[in-house]
Every structure is written in structure tokens, then in C-alpha cells.
Amino acid sequence: MARVTAQEKSDTKVLLQNAMNHLEEARSDLKSADTDKEGHKIKAETSVDSAMNEVRAALKADYPGKK
């Protein structure tokens, strides 16, 4: 099994944090949209929330101090 270097771990953390920032922005945009578009907006919000939970879990798994 290959070892992950400190640099790779740091790069991954930055990428995960960037992903979280983009997801937060997407969630805000979805919340601001005024119509549901036949249920698709709500499904998209749910998907974004799920993705955010997975990114949080990934950060916590590799970086226990991160919330």
C-alpha cells in the first residue's frame, strides 16, 4: 500500500476545502432561486447537502480537528 506524503495530504485538504466552498455557494444560489422547477431545485438542494456531508466526512477522516 502506497504511503500518502504530507504534501499530498495537504493538497487534498485544500481541494476538499475548495470543494466545500463551491458547494456552499451552489447551495446559496439554489436557495435564492424563486421557483422549484417541478421538484428539481429541491432535489438539487438535497444532493448538494449530501455532497457537503461527504466532504465534511472526508475532511474529518483525514483531518480530525476539522469540522
CA distance 47 to 64: 24
Q: Please say if the pLDDT value at position 66 is more than 60.
A: no
Q: Over pLDDT 90: what percentage of the chain?
A: 67
Closest C-alpha among 30, 66, 33, 67 to residue 48: 30
Give the global pTM.
Answer: 0.78
> Could you report the per-residue pLDDT of 31-59, keeping only the tens digit for each?
999 888 899 999 999 999 999 999 999 99
